[in-house]
Amino acid sequence: MSNVKALPLLEPDVDPAVEPCCPPLTERPLTAEEAVRTAAMFKALGDPVRLRLFSSVASHQGGEACVCDISDVGVSQPTVSHHLKKLKEAGLLTSERRGTWVYYRVAPSVLAAMARMLGQYAP
């Protein structure tokens, strides 16, 4: 589904510089630049609220969820919006407004990149 070619590489709002990034962590030491890019992805999932939000979107039926469906994570609604924005900036989520509601869905490529870096340990 991500075959859309709309990749504004200059916008600081969305950061699509999260392409297939780095080799498995066991292959060789990461360079400084690789580490910065990769750490940003892990950092985005390094907060409990963000992790719950992401998991809610990822496990939602249809692969997408509107904010109203996932915003019961114990924090205020502006905070939910703030975390969703962070996840979007990290390239892990995409958002789309349809009528009244805003729907979020996962960006599979970034997750695949992260899994690949840890994949050497997965049997």
Residues that bind DNA (CB under 7 A): 43, 46-47, 49-50, 66-68, 71, 75-86, 95, 97, 99-102
- In a 13 Å sphere around the CA of 7, the CA atoms on its Cβ side amount to 10
Residue among 2, 59, 77, 81 that touches its own copies (CB under 8 A): 59
- If one asks whether residue 82 binds its own copies (CB under 8 A), the answer comes out as no
Amino acid residing at 100 = T
Of 49 and 102, which has the nearer Cβ to its own copies?
A: 49
Task: Tell me the pairing of strands 64-66 and 93-98.
Answer: unpaired
Q: How far is the CB of 83 from DNA (least distance, A)?
A: 6
The item of its own copies, DNA, none sharing an interface with residue 56, based on CB under 5 to 8 Å by kind, is: its own copies
- If one asks whether residue 12 binds its own copies (CB under 8 A), the answer comes out as no
The per-residue b/e assignment along 70-108, b for 16 or more CB within 10 angstroms, e otherwise, is bbeeeeeeeebeebbebbbbbbbbbbeeeeeeebbbbbe
